Amino acid sequence: MGTNYYWRDRICTPCGRYDEIHVGKGGALFRGYRHVLLNTEHPDWGYSEHSPFDEPVLSRSDWLRILAGRPGELYDEYGKRIPNPIGWLAALTPPAPEQIRQQDADRAAERAASRWQFEPEAGTEWRDAEGFRFYAREFS
């Protein structure tokens, strides 16, 4: 289905630990974060829609703006570092209209076939203005 990409944020120089933030799967599906956590005294990292940044992530242009100049590194799920994350993001090609129709048809069939799953909450799947798909939940 595609390779997952993760942003390593707040990398600690002495020990090498970092926060791992899911960016998405290849260029086919982005991870979106709809909400911004306002009460930082009571963080709720278990709630998957909270943005790990101080603003929501709703589009590729959001990802580009947030990651540009931010300390951190992009890795794929196999541990390979992406040397130029911004260039990589910027080079992704939005789906053509025919691809969008196919993706939507596949998604509708997938949902119809998996009745045991909960329906995704309204608004947790969307496309940005360029046509890139976003899910505001964990996926792999």
CA dihedral 44, 46, 52, 54 (to 10 degrees): -30
Of residues 76-105, which lie at the interface with Zn ion (CB under 5 A)? none
Structure tokens at 82: 């992406």
| Residue closer to Zn ion (CB basis): 19 or 128 | 19
Among 140, 124, 138, 139, which Cα is nearest to 58's? 124
> What residues from 2 to 31 belong to the interface with Zn ion (CB under 5 A)?
12, 14-15, 17
Residues 81, 32, 128, 27: what is their CA dihedral angle, to the nearest 10 degrees? 30
Residue 113 in contact with Zn ion, rule: CB under 5 A:
no
Total residues found in the chain within this entry: 140
18 or 126: CB nearest Zn ion = 18
Least separation in angstroms between CB 13 and Zn ion: 7
Site for Zn ion in 21-80 (CB under 5 A): none
Residues that bind Zn ion (CB under 5 A): 12, 14-15, 17
